[in-house]
Amino acid sequence: MSEVLAAIELGGTKTVVALGDARGAILEEHRFPTTTPEETLDVALDWWRERASFQRLGIASFGPIRLDRRREDFGTFLTTPKRAWQQFSLVRYFQDRLPGVSIALDTDVQAALLAEMDRGAARGMSDALYLTVGTGIGAGLCCGGALVHGTLHPEMGHLLVRRHPEDDFAGVCPYHGDCWEGLASGPAIAQRWGKPAQLLPTDHAAWDMQAWYLAQGLYAACAMLSPQCLILGGGVSQAEGLHAKVATMLDACSAGYFEDLGARLVAPALGQQAGIIGALLLAAND
Ligand code: ADP
Ligand code: ZN
C-alpha cells in the first residue's frame, strides 16, 4: 500500500483535515469550525490518530504566517485579526505532538493554486495566479513553476487601487481603509450597499463597480508577473455574470497594450477541494 499523508487546511471560519496519498488523492476528510488554536488543532490530531499513522503533514493556512524556515518564528501567525491566533506557533504545536513527522507549510491560497496547477484550471502551466474574493482578498502566485514567497508571502489584498469615480465608500481594511480588500471584499460590498453581495441583483450598480476594482488588481499582477492564467474564486466570484464583467474590464485596463488579458481569466476547477488537495501536495513535495 502507498504511503498515507496527513493534511490540514485552516480557514478563518472552517478547518478541513484529510488523509491521502502522495499524488493528492483524498482517502477521507472531515470539516469542522475553526475556533481557538488548541481546540481546533486537538480535533485535527485526534481525527488523524484514530485513523492512521503518518510521517508527513501538509498545512495550508490562513495568514499572515511566517513561511521562511530559516526564521526562528517559522510557522507563527503574525498580525491576524483572529486575536486568539496572533503569535500562535502552528508548526511548534505539531512538532511537539508529532515527533519525527515532517511538516510542509504554505498559505491556503498558495495551496489552492498548487492543486489547480496540478490537476485543475491551470494544469500544465508554470505561471499562474489564484485570487480568492470572499471575507478578504487573498492571492497565490506561481512564477516559473515556483510558488512565490519573498520575505513573507503575497498579500495582494492590500494593493492600492484607483478609485471608481462614483465611489465614496471609505473602505473596510483596518490598516489602509481603501486598499483592494478594503474596497472589494465581501464585507466591503455588504457595507457599501447595505446588504450582502449574494442579495444584490445581477443588474445592480454594485457589479460594474466590483468588476472595476477586481480588474485593477488583476491587471497589476499581469503587468508585474505576466501569468498565463488568472483563476478567480471565492464566495463573491460566484455572483452571476461577474466573471464576464471582470474579463471585459481587464481588457479595458489593458487598453490594447497587453494581449488577451480577459481571456486568461478562468473559474477554479476544484472548488472547495483545492485547498486540502494542495495541502496534501505540499506534504508530498516536501
Ligand atoms: P471565506 O472568505 O470566509 O472563506 P467565502 O469565500 O465563501 O468565505 O466568501 C464569503 C463572502 O462571499 C461573503 O461576503 C458573501 O457575502 C459572499 N458571497 C457568498 N456567496 C455569494 C454569491 N453567490 N454571490 C456573491 N457573493 C457571495
Ligand atoms: Zn489593507
Cα-atom radius of gyration of the chain, to the nearest Å? 19
3-state secondary structure of 36: coil
Nearest residue by C-alpha to atom 11 in ligand 1: 134
Domain contains 127: yes
> Hunting for cell 463597480 — which residue is that?
209
Q: Distance (Å, rounded) from C-alpha 183 to C-alpha 180?
A: 5
All three cell numbers of 245, joined, read 464583467
Residue minimizing CA distance to atom 14 of ligand 1 = 186
Rounded to whole angstroms, the Cα distance separating 63 from 77 reads 7
d(CA 119, CA 133): 22
Separation of CA 132 and ligand 1 centre (Å): 10
180 and 46 share one domain: no
Least Cα distance to 280 among 16, 22, 10 occurs for: 22
Q: Is 236 in the pocket of ligand 1 (CB under 6 A)?
A: yes
Nearest CA owner, ligand 1 atom 26: 236
Domain contains 66: yes
Q: Say whether both 181 and 204 belong to one domain.
A: yes
Query: 102 and 9 share a domain?
Result: yes
d(C-alpha 140, C-alpha 154), whole Å? 7
Mean pLDDT along residues 70-85: 92
Pick the residue whose CA is nearest to atom 7 on ligand 1.
235
275 lines ligand 1 (CB under 6 A): no
Question: Residue 205 maps to which CATH number?
Answer: 3.30.420.40
Query: Among 15, 16, 135, 204, which residue has the most ligand 1 atoms within 8 Å of its CB, making it the best to mutate?
Result: 135
Whether 73 and 165 map to the same domain: the answer is no
Domain range for residue 156?
Answer: 123-268
pLDDT of residue 2: 84
Residues 42 and 163 in one domain: no
260 and 127 in a single domain? The answer is: yes
Residues 133 and 246 in one domain: yes
Residues 249 and 163 both lie in one domain? yes
For the Cβ of 210 lying below 6 angstroms from any atom of ligand 1, the answer is no
Identify the CA nearest to 129 among candidates 212, 66, 214.
214
Residue 178, number of CB atoms within 10 A of its CB: 18
Question: What percent of the chain stands above pLDDT 70?
Answer: 100
Amino acid, res. 153: H
Residue with CA closest to ligand 1 atom 3: 135
Strands 56-61 and 102-107: parallel
Determine phi and psi for 69, rounding to 5 degrees.
Answer: -65, -20
Q: Are residues 71 and 142 in the same domain?
A: no
pLDDT of residue 91: 97
Q: Considering only CA atoms, which residue is closest to atom 20 of ligand 1? A: 235
Q: Let me know if residue 38 belongs to a domain.
A: yes
* Residue labelled with grid coordinates 490540514: 8
Is 82 close to ligand 1, i.e. is its CB under 6 Å away? no
Between CA 21 and CA 26 the distance in angstroms is: 7
Q: How far is CA 271 from CA 148, 233, 235, 276, 283, in A?
A: 22, 8, 10, 11, 20
Question: Going by CA atoms, what residue is nearest to atom 9 of ligand 1?
Answer: 134
As a whole number, mean pLDDT of residues 160-179 equals: 97
Q: Which residues pair with 116 in a beta bridge?
A: none
Residue 153 Cα, ligand 2 centroid: separation in angstroms?
Answer: 15
Which amino acid appears at position 117 of this protein? M
User: 138 with 244, same domain?
Assistant: yes
Q: Looking at the predicted structure, is the pLDDT value of residue 82 above 90? A: no
- Burial environment of residue 264 by CB neighbours within 10 A (0 to 12, 13 to 18, 19 or more): buried
In ligand 1, which atom is closest to the CA atom of 13? 3
Per-residue pLDDT at 161 exceeds 90? yes
- For 10-57, how does the pLDDT look when each residue is reduced to its tens digit (9 = 90+)? 998 899 999 999 999 999 999 999 999 999 999 999 999 999 999 999
* 158 shares its domain with 252: yes
Cell of 50: 484514530
Per-residue confidence (pLDDT) for residue 44, from 0 to 100? 98
Q: How many structural domains is the chain composed of?
A: 2
154 and 87 in one domain? Answer: no
171 assigned to some structural domain:
yes
Q: What is the 268 CA–ligand 1 centroid distance (Å)?
A: 15
Question: What is the end-to-end Cα distance of the chain in Å, rounded?
Answer: 20
- Which pLDDT does position 1 carry in this prediction? 62
Give the residues across from 8 on adjacent strands: 17, 59
Amino acid (one-letter) located at 15: T
Is there a domain that residue 117 lies in?
A: no
Whether residue 227 lies inside any domain: the answer is: yes
Q: What distance in angstroms lies between residue 41's CA and the mean position of ligand 2's atoms? A: 28
220-231: pLDDT as tens digits = 999 999 999 999
pLDDT in tens, 103-137: 999 999 999 999 999 999 999 999 999 999 999 99
Tens digits of residue pLDDT in 241-268: 999 999 999 999 999 999 899 999 999 9
248 Cβ inside 6 Å of ligand 1: no
DSSP readout, 86-151? TT-BHHHHHHHHSTT-EEEEEEHHHHHHHHHHHHSTTTT-SSEEEEEESSSEEEEEEETTEE--TT
Q: Residue 232: inside a domain, yes or no? A: yes
Q: How far apart are CA 163 and CA 177, in angstroms?
A: 12
